[in-house]
Structure 1
Amino acid sequence: MRNDKHTQPRLTLCRGDILAAALIFLAAVALLVYFGTGARGNAATVQVWQDGTLQGEYPLAVDREFVVAGRYHNTVQIQNGRVCILDADCPGQDCVKSGWHKDTGRSIVCLPNRLELRLAGGAAEPEIDGVTG
Structure 2
Amino acid sequence: MAIPMRSPAAERRRPCIGDVVVALLVAAAAVALLFALRPAPSQYLTAHIVLDGETIAEYDLTTLTEPVTLPLDQAPYPLTIQIEPERICVLESECPSQDCVHTGWISQAGQQIICLPDRLIISLTGSDPVEFDAISG
Which of these residues, 103, 116, 125, is aligned with residue 120 of structure 1?
125
Evaluate the alpha carbon distance shift between residue 12 and residue 48 of structure 1 in structure 2; reply closer, same or farther with a 3 A threshold: closer
Structure 1, gaps ≥5 residues long: 1-8, 124-133
1:25, distance to aligned residue in structure 2 (A): 1.2
Q: Extract structure 1 runs of 4+ deviating beyond 6 A.
A: 9-13
Map of 1:48-127 to 2, 5 A cutoff?
A: 48-61=49-62, 62=64, 63-68=67-72, 69-122=74-127
TM-score after normalising by structure 2: 0.66
Give me the identity figure in percent.
Answer: 31
User: Alignment length, in residue pairs?
Assistant: 112
Evaluate the alpha carbon distance shift between residue 109 and residue 37 of structure 1 in structure 2; reply closer, same or farther with a 3 A threshold: farther
Evaluate the alpha carbon distance shift between residue 67 and residue 37 of structure 1 in structure 2; reply closer, same or farther with a 3 A threshold: farther
CA-based RMSD of the aligned residues comes to: 2.8
Structure 2, gaps ≥5 residues long: 1-10, 129-137
Q: Structure 1, residues 50-99: CA drift from partner, whole Å, max 9, x if none?
A: 22222221111313221223212221111131110011122222211211
TM-score after normalising by structure 1: 0.68
